[in-house]
Amino acid sequence: MTIQWREKMTIDDGVIDQDHRHLIDIINRFENAAKDGLTLSEGLEILFALKFYASTHFKREEQLQRLIDFPFYDSHKREHEELIEKLSQIIDELKMSQESSYNTVARHTAVLLREWLVDHVLHSDLRMKVFVDALRDQGRDMKALSSILPE
């Protein structure tokens, strides 16, 4: 079951949403490969790409959260750290697994990643939307003010 981007997942109509779409693509790629019989090198390649991109995305998202003074920043950051740690553990587990068992590990990993991403975006990330919208509105208000204030 692949993850489909839905409009209700929109946070900022910008880089965060683009990142989420790309993370969905990576997770879908992993899940599809796991269903078709994943090779160890293929699984590791996708997981390393996911870990790298997730780390990059989390830095951007946390920067936005500081900008919007997001009240759930600390718990959100912990969720990010826990996923990166979990990805490291999965990579280590996959490296150490026997060839006969790494497809099972891969299938469980695919389910975990899908559930984590969907849950995280829909429950944790969407809480940012109202703050992002407020910042955008403030920017519009400031632009409107600049047109009526003398220079």
Is residue 1 situated within a structural domain? Answer: no
pTM (2 decimals)?
A: 0.84
Instruction: Kindly list the distances between the CA atom of residue 48 and the CA atoms of 15, 42, 92, 95, 128, in Å, as whole numbers in the listed order.
Output: 21, 10, 11, 12, 27
Is residue 2 situated within a structural domain? Answer: no
Is residue 6 situated within a structural domain? Answer: no
Is residue 93 situated within a structural domain? Answer: yes
Is residue 86 situated within a structural domain? Answer: yes
Digit-coded pLDDT (tens) for 102-144: 777 788 888 888 888 888 888 899 999 999 988 888 877 666 6
Is residue 115 situated within a structural domain? Answer: yes
Number of domains in the chain: 1
**Structural domain for 19, as ranges:** 11-146
Digit-coded pLDDT (tens) for 56-98: 999 999 999 999 999 999 999 999 999 999 999 989 988 887 7
CATH code, domain with 27: 1.20.120.50
Q: What is the pLDDT, as a whole number, of residue 85?
A: 95
